[in-house]
């Protein structure tokens, strides 16, 4: 019998997260068809699919860019060597022309500094490109977390107690206790999965800026989810009462 491949539980699996988001979207659509939350869950599935692809791309080198950087670096070094070869070092030394020697050395040092700055710019270009693209994606996740929070904002568990007259601007509240609990739980799950999508970027990157931005998104989703679980706890207390 062949050995079963062991799953690596040390890192997040983008495929498993996408599968989990898909199942959650199906559960929400079955429980609350034609609702805004169903549309948001479908959007989260699309974001999860894109995130899995983008996160994998973070660990892949931009081979074309790296080749271009090496060619430019080699060309720069070759030009620098040619410039130094054209200098009449023997003549400067024979004439003991300190001024010419000083000007030549100063020009050489300036050229080295400029070449070093240019090489540093090219060598960090890949990292800066990846950072910019990832920060844009993380901003999308951050915005989506607030969208989910808006869906649960008017879901007040205390209205189940009654005792208050509706006003013309009061939101529609037709859910039973069970439906409201499930709705809030779905929102909490969506926020948790949004945080896990942010963690995918952190897991595929060694850039401290990306890791910090991903942690900020995770913390935001955790804080928003904590408010939802407070509502769920109130619903549980009402059911026991």
> Could you give the CA distance from residue 200 to residue 52 in angstroms, rounded to a whole number?
8
Interacting residues of 198 by C-beta distance below 8 A, sequence separation 6+: 138, 141, 214, 215, 217, 218, 221
Q: What is the pLDDT of residue 62?
A: 73
* Cα distance from N-terminal residue to C-terminal residue, the chain: 56
The three-point CA angle 53-56-60 to 5° equals: 130
Q: What is the pLDDT of residue 1?
A: 42
Tokens of 135: 């920060």
pLDDT tens string for the chain (241 positions)? Answer: 445 556 667 788 899 999 999 999 999 999 999 899 999 999 999 999 999 999 888 777 777 777 877 887 787 777 777 766 766 556 655 555 556 556 666 666 776 777 777 777 777 788 888 899 999 999 999 999 999 999 998 888 877 666 566 777 777 777 888 899 999 999 999 999 999 999 999 988 888 999 999 999 999 999 999 999 999 998 887 766 5
Q: What is the pLDDT of residue 67?
A: 82
Q: What is the pLDDT of residue 95?
A: 58
Q: What is the pLDDT of residue 102?
A: 66
> Could you give the CA distance from residue 191 to residue 220 in angstroms, rounded to a whole number?
9
> Could you give the CA distance from residue 182 to residue 162 in angstroms, rounded to a whole number?
20
């Amino acid at each position: 019998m062949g050995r079963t491949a062991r799953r690596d539980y040390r890192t997040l699996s983008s495929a498993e997260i996408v599968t989990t988001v898909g199942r959650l979207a199906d559960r929400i659509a079955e429980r609350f068809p034609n609702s805004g939350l169903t549309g948001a869950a479908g959007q989260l599935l699309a974001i999860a699919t894109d995130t899995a692809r983008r996160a994998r791309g973070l660990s892949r080198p931009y081979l074309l860019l790296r080749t271009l950087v090496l060619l430019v670096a080699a060309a720069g070094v070759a030009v620098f060597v040619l410039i130094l070869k054209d200098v009449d070092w023997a003549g400067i030394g024979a004439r003991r022309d300190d001024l010419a020697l000083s000007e030549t050395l100063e020009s050489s040092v300036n050229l080295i500094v400029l070449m070093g700055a240019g090489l540093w710019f090219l060598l960090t270009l890949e990292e800066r490109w990846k950072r910019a693209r990832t920060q844009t994606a993380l901003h999308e996740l951050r915005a989506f977390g607030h969208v989910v929070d808006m869906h649960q904002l008017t879901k007040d568990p205390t209205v189940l107690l009654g005792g208050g007259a509706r006003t013309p601007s009061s939101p529609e509240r037709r859910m039973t206790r069970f439906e409201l609990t499930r709705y809030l739980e779905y929102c909490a799950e969506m926020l948790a999965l949004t945080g896990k999508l942010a963690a995918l970027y952190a897991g595929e990157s060694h850039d401290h800026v990306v890791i910090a931005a991903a942690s900020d998104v995770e913390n935001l989703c955790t804080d928003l989810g904590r408010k939802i679980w407070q509502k769920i706890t109130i619903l549980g207390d009402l059911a026991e009462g």
